[in-house]
Structure 1
Amino acid sequence: LLSQVASLYDPIGLATPAKQKGAILVRKAFQETGGKNLLRDTWDTPLSERLREEAIHLFEEYTRLNQITFHRSLTPVRRIGEPWGITFSDGSDQSYGAVAYFRWETKQGILVRLIESKAKLTPLDQKGEAVKAEVCGAVFAARLRKYIEKHSRIQVKRWLHLLDSQTVLGAIQRDSYGYQTFFANRVGEIQKSTSVGDWRWIPGEQNIADLVTRGATPEDLKENSVWQNGPEFLKQPVEEWPTKSAKDVAADAKEGINRLQSCLTRLIRVIAWVWRAATKWKEMLAKTSTRSKPKRK
C-alpha cells in the first residue's frame, strides 16, 4: 500500500486530492497495526478486510489517473492585462492544505487556471483541534503565493486568499505576539509574506480546498471540473463573490451579539414578570388560607 501511494509522482500537486486520499489510508493502516508502537515485523502485517477493500478501490482509482489531462499553459490566448492570484486553504482532523489559481480576463470572458496545490496530513496530536489545521492550511496558502511570485515570470495584479474559518481570519488581523507559540509563529509567517487585507472568508461549501483535506476520485479532477476551473463564482464580478472581509465578519458577529443581548434582555424581563406574578399569587394564597382557617374555641 505504501509503495503504491508513494509511486504517485506529482511535484506540483495537480492531483493532490487523489494522492492525499491514499496518504490518509496509509495512516489508517499504520494506526490499525499498532499506532505509534510500530515494530519491524508490522510492515508485513496483512490489512484488515475493510482496509483491504479500500486499498483495492484506491488502486483502481490510481489506474484511472492516467486518463486525466491538465492545462499546462497558464497564460491563455487573447488575454487582457495581468491575472489575479487566488488561493483557497482548508484544514480538518485528517489533512490540511491549499490550492492556487490564476484568474484571467480574456476577450471571451473570465478564465481560471489551476497552478498548483500542497497538502499534508494533520498530526495525530492535533486531532480534535480543527483551528490548528486551518491555520496550517493558511500558512500553505501564503507559501504558495511566495513560491509563485519567486519562480513565475507572470506578474500578478492582485492576490486574494480565501478560507472558511472566521477564527483564523480574525487571528490574521491581530499582532502575532499576542498568541501562544504555535499560533504566533504561523500567524507571523502569514503576515510577513502576505497583506492581511487580502484575506477573505467564504462559506465552507464554496471552498475548493475541501477536496484536499478529504481526498477525491479521479473523476473529481477531470478536465472542466471544479478542481481544474475553480468555483463558478470566480467567473463573476468580484462584487458578487460570496466572500466577506474581516471587517464584515466582525460587523456580522457584533450584530449577532446585539441580537442575542436583546433576546436575553427580553427573556430576563419575562422571567422577572413571571417571578413577580408567582410571588403575588403565593402571597394571595397564603392570605386566603389564613382567612379561611377556622378559629379554635
Structure 2
Amino acid sequence: MYRQVNVGTEDSYLQLIVWRDNPNEDLRYYRLKKSHPLASSAIKDFYVGDVMTGSNSLKEAVKIKDDLKTLLQSAGFNLRKWCANHERLLSSIPSKYREVKLSVDDSKDEGVKTLGLTWNPKLDHFRITTIWNEPTEVTKRTVLSDTSRLFDPLGFVNPAITLAKIFLQELWSLKLDWDEAIPMGLHTRWLQFRQELADLNRIRIPRYLETKNATVSLHAFSDASERAYGVVIYLRSVNNHGDIKVTLLCSKSRMAPLKTITLPRLELCAATFWARLTDRVTKILNMDIGSIHYWTDSQIVLAWTQSRPSLFHTFVANRISSIQLRVNKYI
C-alpha cells in the first residue's frame, strides 16, 4: 500500500527493493519509478475522498483522467461521481460512474457539491448553496447551528460569515445558557440577518484562472477592526493582447479576542495572516507568478515590518519575524 504514495526522486533510494531469484545470485537493487507522472501529480489534488484537478489543455486533461483512473484501479480504487466541463472527458466513463442529474449541455444553474461548494460544469463557476427554514426559536444554540452551516472553505462569502461570528461573540459575552431566549433587540437583528443570507445563493465565482500566455501577479489585502481582522487574495492576469482579468482566489478572517488589543496590533495580526496565507497559496498554485503585492492601509504596520524585530516586545517582534520570513523570499 505504501508504494502507491508519491515519493520525491531525491528520497526514492530510501525505498529500494533488494531482490534475487536464488541464494547463489548477486543482489539486485530496484528503485521505484512513477509509471503515471501526470496522475501522480494529480494525487496531491485529493482532499479526503474527493479530487478536483484540471489542465489548460483538453489533451492533457484527458491524459490525466485516463492515467488517474488506471493508477487507482490498479490498487482497487474505482473513482465514481465523475463530473467535467467537457463531454470528451466523460465519454469513456460509464453512466453509473458519473455524477447523476448533471450534464455539460445543461444550461440550468445546477451543479455538483464538493467540499462545501457547488460547481456548475456548464457555466464553470462556483456558488454557495444554503437553504434556510423558518426558525422556531432563536437561542445561542440555534445561532451557532446556523453559523456552522455557512461552510465556505475558500472564503468567497467571508464577510457574511464574519458578521455571524461577531453576533455569536456578542451572545457569548452575555453569558446566556445554550437554550435561553436571547434579548429582543438581538433576536430581531438575527432574524433580519438570517433573511438576508438567502442572497448568498445569488453569488457566482468563476473557477477558471486566466494564466495561460499571461503575466500573473498576486495581490493580498489585509485590514482589521476592533471586532475582526482578515485578508483577501486576488489573482491578476494580463494576456498577450493586454486584456486584464482579476479573480478572487480566497479570503480568511479571524475574530478579535474579547480582551482588548490596540488597533495597530490587530492590523499587525492581519498582516501576519496575509503573509502566511499568501505563502501557502503561492505553493498551492505551483505556477510562474511574476510579482506578489501586499497591501495594507496601516502606516504603523508598514514601519514595523521594515524594522528589526529585536527592537520590539515579544508580541510585535514575533509577528514581524513571521512576516519578514515569508515576504522577503519573494522580494
Name the counterpart of 2:218.
Answer: 85
CA distance in 2, matches of 1:147, 1:109: 27
CA distance in 1, matches of 2:302, 2:296: 8
User: Do the aligned partners of 1:96 and 1:121 also contact (CA within 8 Å) in 2?
Assistant: yes
Q: Which has the higher contact order (CA 8 A, sep 6+)?
A: 1
Q: CA offset at residue 154 of structure 1? A: 2.5
2:247 aligned with 1:116: no
Q: Which amino acid aligns with 1:83?
A: V
The residue correspondences of 1:1-80 to structure 2 (distance < 5 A) are 1-33=143-175, 42-75=177-210, 80=213
User: Do the aligned partners of 2:158 and 2:251 also contact (CA within 8 Å) in 1?
Assistant: yes
Report the secondary structure of 2:236's partner residue: strand
Q: CA offset at residue 126 of structure 1? A: 2.9
Q: Which residue among 119, 125, 130 is the counterpart of 2:259? A: 125
User: Do the aligned partners of 1:126 and 1:132 also contact (CA within 8 Å) in 2?
Assistant: no
The structure with the largest helix share of the pair is 1
Name the TM-score, length of structure 1 as normaliser: 0.60
Provide structure 1 residue ranges, at least 5 long, that are not aligned to the other structure: 35-41, 199-297
**What is the CA RMSD across the aligned residues, in angstroms?**
1.8
CA distance in 1, matches of 2:214, 2:237: 8
The residue correspondences of 1:220-231 to structure 2 (distance < 5 A) are none
CA distance in 1, matches of 2:273, 2:313: 20
CA distance in 1, matches of 2:221, 2:213: 24
2:326 aligned with 1:193: yes
Q: CA offset at residue 66 of structure 1? A: 1.4
CA distance in 2, matches of 1:72, 1:82: 18
Q: Which amino acid aligns with 1:184?
A: A
CA distance in 2, matches of 1:170, 1:66: 41
CA distance in 1, matches of 2:288, 2:330: 19
The structure with the largest strand share of the pair is 2
User: Do the aligned partners of 1:91 and 1:130 also contact (CA within 8 Å) in 2?
Assistant: yes
Name the TM-score, length of structure 2 as normaliser: 0.54
CA distance in 1, matches of 2:214, 2:199: 37
Q: CA offset at residue 197 of structure 1? A: 9.3
The residue correspondences of 1:259-270 to structure 2 (distance < 5 A) are none
CA distance in 2, matches of 1:87, 1:115: 10
User: Do the aligned partners of 2:292 and 2:330 also contact (CA within 8 Å) in 1?
Assistant: no
User: Do the aligned partners of 2:237 and 2:246 also contact (CA within 8 Å) in 1?
Assistant: yes
Q: CA offset at residue 124 of structure 1? A: 1.4
Q: Report how many residues are paired.
A: 188
CA distance in 2, matches of 1:174, 1:196: 16
Deviations 1:145-189 (A, max 9, x none): 111121112221101100010000000000112111111111100
CA distance in 2, matches of 1:168, 1:197: 19
CA distance in 1, matches of 2:200, 2:227: 23
The residue correspondences of 1:69-218 to structure 2 (distance < 5 A) are 69-75=204-210, 80-106=213-239, 107=241, 109-127=243-261, 129-195=262-328
Report the secondary structure of 2:269's partner residue: helix
> Compared with structure 1, are the counterparts of its residues 30 and 133 closer, same or farther at alpha carbon in structure 2 (3 Å cutoff)?
same
CA distance in 2, matches of 1:117, 1:148: 11
User: Do the aligned partners of 1:80 and 1:104 also contact (CA within 8 Å) in 2?
Assistant: no
Q: CA offset at residue 63 of structure 1? A: 1.8
Name the counterpart of 2:70.
Answer: none
> Compared with structure 1, are the counterparts of its residues 83 and 197 closer, same or farther at alpha carbon in structure 2 (3 Å cutoff)?
closer
Q: Which amino acid aligns with 1:175?
A: R
CA distance in 2, matches of 1:153, 1:82: 15
CA distance in 1, matches of 2:149, 2:234: 26
User: Do the aligned partners of 2:210 and 2:245 also contact (CA within 8 Å) in 1?
Assistant: no
CA distance in 2, matches of 1:7, 1:15: 13
User: Do the aligned partners of 2:166 and 2:227 also contact (CA within 8 Å) in 1?
Assistant: yes
Q: Which amino acid aligns with 2:314?
A: T
Deviations 1:101-151 (A, max 9, x none): 111113262211100001000011134x10111001101110111111211
